[in-house]
Each structure stands twice: as C-alpha cells, then as structure tokens.
Amino acid sequence: MGAGRNNKALAHFINAVLFCVFILPLAAEKLFASRRRQAVKKVLIIELWGIGDLIMASSVFKPLRRKFPEAQIVLLSKPDAQTLFSGAGLINKFIVFDFPWVKFQNKYRFWRWDWQGLISVVRELREERFDLAIDARGDVRNNLLSFLTGARSRLGYNWTGGGFFLTDAQGGFKFRHRVEAWFNLLDRMKVDRRDACPCLEVMEREKRWQEDFYSASGISSGDLLVGIHPGAGRETRRWPLARFVETAKYVEAKYKAKVIFFEGPNEKGLSVKNGYLVARPDLRQLPALIKRVDLFICNDSGPMHIAAALKRPLVAIFGPGDIERIGPYGARCYVAAAKGIKCRPCFDYCRFDKRVCLDAVGVEDVIEKIDRAMEGLEYARV
C-alpha cells in the first residue's frame, strides 16, 4: 500500500517537474499558433518498441496514405521497421534509433543512455518540420519526444502523464487492444479506416526465394504445412521446447502435415534435433516463409504478429503477456493460456521460482486450439 502511494507521488512529482520545465515553450506555442487550417505535408508515426508493436502500428499505414496521398509519411522506430516495411510504398522515410526507455534492461540508468545519439535524432526530427505526429503508446516519455519533434499537431494518449505535451491528448482505450488504440487515433482525425488492419507485404524477391527454399526442402504446393516458432524475445515467454516437439508429432500424425521449425538469430539454443526441417531466415525472409504455412504455432512474439498480419491461422501460447492488449489480432487467431493467473500481465520478470503461467499450459491445451484452427482449413489459403 505504501509502495503504491510512493509510486503515485513520484509520478505526480515527475509530471509537475516536466510541466514546469516546459511550460514556457508550451504556452508560447498555444499563444502564437496559427488558427488557420494548414495542409498536412509531413506526417510522423512514432512506434519505438519491438517487431510486434511495429506490426500493430502498421494498421494506420494504408488509411493515412489514403488520407494524405501527397504527404511524406515518416516512421520513427527501431531499424527492424525498415527491414519489414521498405518497398511497400506506404512509408516514405525511416528515422531509426534505439531509444533507451524501450530496453528490457538498464532503461532507468540515465547515465548510460546514448545522450549524444538522442540529441542528434531529436535535432533530425525537428529539421523535418512535421505537420502531424501520432503515437499510440500513451507513455509520458513518448509524449515528451512528440513535443520535442516540433510537430504542429501532436496526437496521442495521456495514460501515464505528459498529456500537456500533446495538442490532442486522448484518454480511454488503455485496456483495449493496441491495434484499436491506433484505430481510435484514426477516428479522432476522421480518417476512413474501413480496411484498416495490421499489414505486411512480401516482396517479389522474397517470394521467389521462398519458392526455391521450400522446393529444395521437399515441400510441394499440395502439402499441408505447419510452421512452429518456439522462440520469443524473453525466456519467460518461451513455452518448453519439448512440448513444441510433442505438438509437432501430433499434427504430423493426425493431419499428415509437414512441419517446419523457425529459429531466430539469437535462438540457437532452441535448435530442434528430431529430424524436422529447421529454417533460420533473416527478418526479410521470415514473412515470406510464414506466408506459405497453413498453420503457425508460436509463443507471444514478433513472429506471432507477423503471422496474424499475413492472415495465417495461428495458435499462440501466452504466459505473462497481456492477451487483451497485445494478443494476435485478426480472424483465425487462437490463444492457449492458463486460467486463473492473477499476476498476469507482468513485464517479463517472474517473481516466482517457476514460470507458473507458462508452465501451466499443457500440450493438450494447445492441441485443442490447433483442432479448432484446422477446421475448414481448405479456406485458409490465400
């Protein structure tokens, strides 16, 4: 109880300090801002977190391009965004930087931040002279960053404070899915979102590479193919590898499926040694391989969101993650998770000796979701 009061008092103190530090420029902005409507020529989308967050943010790319066909749309993000989205024609420019507060470790050790790089990227952003900046994170640090860009209009959420840094601060939607939080910002701007959804396009070069890879691996167009990705960014999100192998044996036996395991660049310890096909694609190749699978089985991870954006039927195993806010978004997406976990969601650092939430998910729980996903599978291929 005392810790809660202290955290709340600290949050109020930080808000008060930030308000005082920036009150003069904010007041000047309000006082001298032009009242006449101006054309939107440059739009900044801010999404600083991981691959899954980028995929969810992609929900606004097509609607914004349609709303502002002549505008330059810029995405501020980690370098992964350029790998995922370049070539699709929706983003004109990528400004990349690994912001310190999105790291899993040492994010509050301010003396270890790359201050020179941070100042440099803020300077670059200000030179762009954005007309509009949008951010669905609701984080006070993001709101401050939005203000520092100098964008004329700044739209976002006031969930953890700093709403005064925005010209249009939204409340609500904190406990809704992240995609819907982006949708709400589109609605606020009166942007048509009738076809809005997480989107990811596989380029022709990767399509040809995918065809060659599967052909060389003995996978034909008529084969029922199940992809399994047993990795995740944090160990607390990784369902035991042995259970994935047991699940693979089930789909082989019941559905006569061929199985491919996906292994990321930092997941060599997850190698499968049971004679299964194992792919180690880069981030550009991974969506191409996932696009071909008939069913994708995975943990709460970036590849989960990639599969959902590619409209692949999938089964995701969740442990500590917030299913309601960051679960797979789309049709034919199923989640296997233990029930009655009162400490969910948490932020990837389990307070128990064992991962209660993840280890409680049995193979039978995943099989149940697989059987549901496999119903009517002949309609799933596109």
Here the CATH number for the domain that contains residue 144 is 3.40.50.2000
pLDDT at residue 108, as a whole number:
73
pLDDT at residue 109, as a whole number:
80
Identify whether 5 is part of a domain.
no
Identify whether 53 is part of a domain.
yes
pLDDT at residue 379, as a whole number:
40
Long-range contacts of 346-353 (CB under 8 A, 24+ apart): 346/320, 347/320, 348/104, 348/234, 348/236, 348/237, 348/320, 349/236, 350/236, 350/320
Claim to verify: residue 235 and residue 183 sit in the same structural domain:
no
Q: Contact 138/48 with Cβ under 8 angstroms?
A: no
**Cα separation, 43 vs 130, whole angstroms:** 6
Q: Contact 283/305 with Cβ under 8 angstroms?
A: no
10-residue stretch averages of pLDDT, the chain, 382 residues long? 54 60 52 59 96 96 95 96 93 94 77 87 96 94 95 93 90 81 94 91 95 95 95 88 94 95 73 78 96 97 96 94 92 91 74 81 96 73 42
For 37-69, give one letter per residue: b (16+ CB within 10 A) or e. Answer: eeebebbbbbbbbbbbbbbbbbbbbbbbbebbe
- Look at phi and psi of residue 68 and say left if phi exceeds 0, alpha if psi is from -120 to 50, else beta: beta
pLDDT at residue 175, as a whole number:
67
Claim to verify: residue 208 and residue 75 sit in the same structural domain:
no
Identify whether 17 is part of a domain.
no
pLDDT at residue 21, as a whole number:
55
Identify whether 279 is part of a domain.
yes
pLDDT at residue 345, as a whole number:
80
Identify whether 22 is part of a domain.
no
Please, what is the Cα angle at 284 between 283 and 290, to 5 degrees?
80
Phi, psi of 358 (to 5 degrees): -85, -40
What pTM did the predictor assign? Answer: 0.87
Q: Contact 366/317 with Cβ under 8 angstroms?
A: yes
Q: Indicate the residue among 133, 153, 188 that finishes a domain.
A: 188
Q: Contact 91/68 with Cβ under 8 angstroms?
A: no
Identify whether 14 is part of a domain.
no
Identify whether 280 is part of a domain.
yes
Claim to verify: residue 91 and residue 172 sit in the same structural domain:
yes
pLDDT at residue 275, as a whole number:
78
Claim to verify: residue 73 and residue 177 sit in the same structural domain:
yes
pLDDT at residue 212, as a whole number:
96
pLDDT at residue 376, as a whole number:
67
Identify whether 255 is part of a domain.
yes
pLDDT at residue 36, as a whole number:
44
Give the structural domain span for 182.
Answer: 32-188
Number of domains in the chain: 2
Residue labelled with tokens 């925005």 = 166
